Amino acid sequence: MKDPKPRQVKVGISRRDFMKLAGITGLTAWMMEKGLTWKDLFNMASDSLADPINVIWTGNGWCGGNTIAFIDAMNPAVEDVITQVTINLQPITLRAPSIANLGNVNLVYHPILMPQDNMAYPTMEAALAGVFDPYVLVVEGTMYDEFGLYYQKPKDSFWCSAGRTPSGNVLLCDEFVFNLMKRAALVYATGACATYGGIPSTTNGLGQRSPTYTMGMLDDPYRGILGFPAYIHEVYQKGLGYFRGEQVIDEDIYAVTNSPYNTAYPGPSYHWLSTLKQPIVAIAADPPAGDWIMRTLVAGVLYARGLGPAPSESLDVFNRPKYFYGNETHQNCPRAGFFAQGIFAKNFGDPQCTYSQGCKGTEANSPAPLLGWVGGVGGCTRGGVCIACTAPGFPDLYEPFYAPPNAPTLPSTTLLAAAVGAGIVVGVGSYYLSRRRGKPTIPKAKGVS
């Protein structure tokens, strides 16, 4: 006769809740009420992968390109990672985890992929109450100067809304992201817009800010733009965080997570830390390939489970993961051999090095030529030129895209020789621009110390 199967205990308690209960009095009475033994409790506590790591994905000033890339990911695919979704604040299991040790990953909120609307405010409130701990916050799209730090808009107007509050008032994207940052275990900025501001934050050729005064999550030291954490810190310090008579930026985001407000290069937003004491991670590009997004998120989930290294251990100076952005785009390019020989394309479509056609691969970091786009196929540099969309300063420092670079980053003799070979004139003006790019400034708001 076969041994009976172990009793399956379903009491609606997570491992985290059990650990909390184990530290308080009255546990024995609770066990008796539920009809549980100590062995039952041990089995519940040992199943650490049953508790999901939650993902909250916000869309702000966005085109949805990163979401499309996210859906197109193949290695791993979305269905390999996301095992649950949340509908009306209730988790629904889609499938069993298929990646070893990753456990359940619950997509709590996504403004495009979620099947219901009007959930921004309830999701924010539940997150602030700790319902989704631990959660990973993914920010897509630019943030806005809603509070007049740079530009005073007409009263009660706004740039970006995430939804409505229960009273029917606008829930600002700034307010939504600000509150979600308070309890986030990890924060990821995906795409050129969310990382350093991208095209919406153009400075008109380094002359002036865009009319909407948009910004990324991280400071752009080349264009002198503060990132979102530093921006809302300044807003709070100046008492500007009000919208329609209500104070919506009601805390210093640095004080909430005990983060240092450090203005050292490349700027104060790089020094803000999440509840796990991790900086904002930049998944840079316009947009990045889906596999870059998925693999970076998986690495973060494994860290949150205590099974992988901290994200901060593998970031470059601009908070990009070195395993993707550790090399220049040029170093990953299959045309690099032509570059070394001084053989350059004369027309678009030629197989030789496209440095002469405007490629900025020597000034940007990405794995695009090596990894391709979907399933290793395609990608921006397979037929075109690199426009440096993974770098701070994009697009202003790298325009015009399809023209030879203004100058190599002197005094690199290799690039100087390449420039001469490609017929690029290196003059005094272009040398000044290259020096300007090489010595960026710390972002600073007008009138802000």
CATH of the domain at 78: 3.40.50.700
Specify whether 314 is located in the same domain as 361: no
Residue 165 lies in a domain: yes
Residue 439: which pLDDT band, with cuts at 50, 70 and 90? very low
Residue 372: which pLDDT band, with cuts at 50, 70 and 90? confident
Tell me what the mean pLDDT of segment 60-67 comes to.
94
Enter the pTM of the model.
0.82
Residue 408 lies in a domain: yes
Specify whether 340 is located in the same domain as 300: no
User: What's the confidence (pLDDT) of residue 173?
Assistant: 97
Tell me what the mean pLDDT of segment 57-71 comes to.
94
Specify whether 197 is located in the same domain as 305: yes
Specify whether 337 is located in the same domain as 305: no
Specify whether 152 is located in the same domain as 273: yes
Q: How many domains does the chain have?
A: 2
Residue 166 lies in a domain: yes
Residue 271 lies in a domain: yes
Specify whether 114 is located in the same domain as 248: yes
Q: How far is CA 86 from CA 116, 145, 226, 228, in A?
A: 10, 31, 34, 27
Specify whether 266 is located in the same domain as 134: yes
Specify whether 210 is located in the same domain as 194: yes
Residue 40 lies in a domain: no
- What is the CATH number for 413? 4.10.480.10
pLDDT above 90 (res 428) = no
Residue 32 lies in a domain: no
pLDDT above 80 (res 40) = no
Of the residues 296, 325, 354, which one is the last residue of a structural domain?
325
Of the residues 325, 351, 372, which one is the last residue of a structural domain?
325
Q: 61 and 113 in contact (C-beta within 8 Å)? A: no
Tell me what the mean pLDDT of segment 371-380 comes to.
85
Specify whether 294 is located in the same domain as 429: no
The Cα–Cα gap between 71 and 80 comes to: 11
**Domain that residue 212 falls in:** 49-325
Of the residues 325, 353, 387, which one is the last residue of a structural domain?
325
Instruction: Kindly report the average pLDDT of the chain as a whole number.
Output: 83
- Strands (DSSP E) contained in 212-283 are 242-243, 246-247, 281-283
Residue 24 lies in a domain: no
User: What's the confidence (pLDDT) of residue 234?
Assistant: 97
pLDDT above 60 (res 9) = no
Determine which helix (DSSP H) or strand (DSSP E) holds 138, and give its type and residue range: strand 135-140
Q: What is the pLDDT of residues 235-284, one digit of tens each?
A: 999 999 999 999 999 999 999 999 999 999 999 999 999 999 999 999 99
Specify whether 308 is located in the same domain as 434: no
User: What's the confidence (pLDDT) of residue 443?
Assistant: 54
Residue of 285, 382, 288, 366 lying closest to 328 (CA atoms): 366
Residue 2 lies in a domain: no
User: What's the confidence (pLDDT) of residue 373?
Assistant: 87
Specify whether 276 is located in the same domain as 397: no
Specify whether 320 is located in the same domain as 358: no
Burial class (CB within 10 angstroms; exposed 0-12, middle 13-18, buried 19+) of 390: buried
The Cα–Cα gap between 36 and 174 comes to: 46
pLDDT above 70 (res 30) = no
Q: What is the pLDDT of residues 110-151, one digit of tens each?
A: 999 887 767 899 999 999 999 999 999 999 999 999 999 999
User: What's the confidence (pLDDT) of residue 207?
Assistant: 72
Q: What is the pLDDT of residues 179-206, one digit of tens each?
A: 999 999 999 999 999 999 999 999 876 6
User: What's the confidence (pLDDT) of residue 216?
Assistant: 98
pLDDT above 80 (res 352) = yes
Listed in sequence order, the DSSP H helices in 313-412 are 322-325, 336-341, 368-371, 380-383
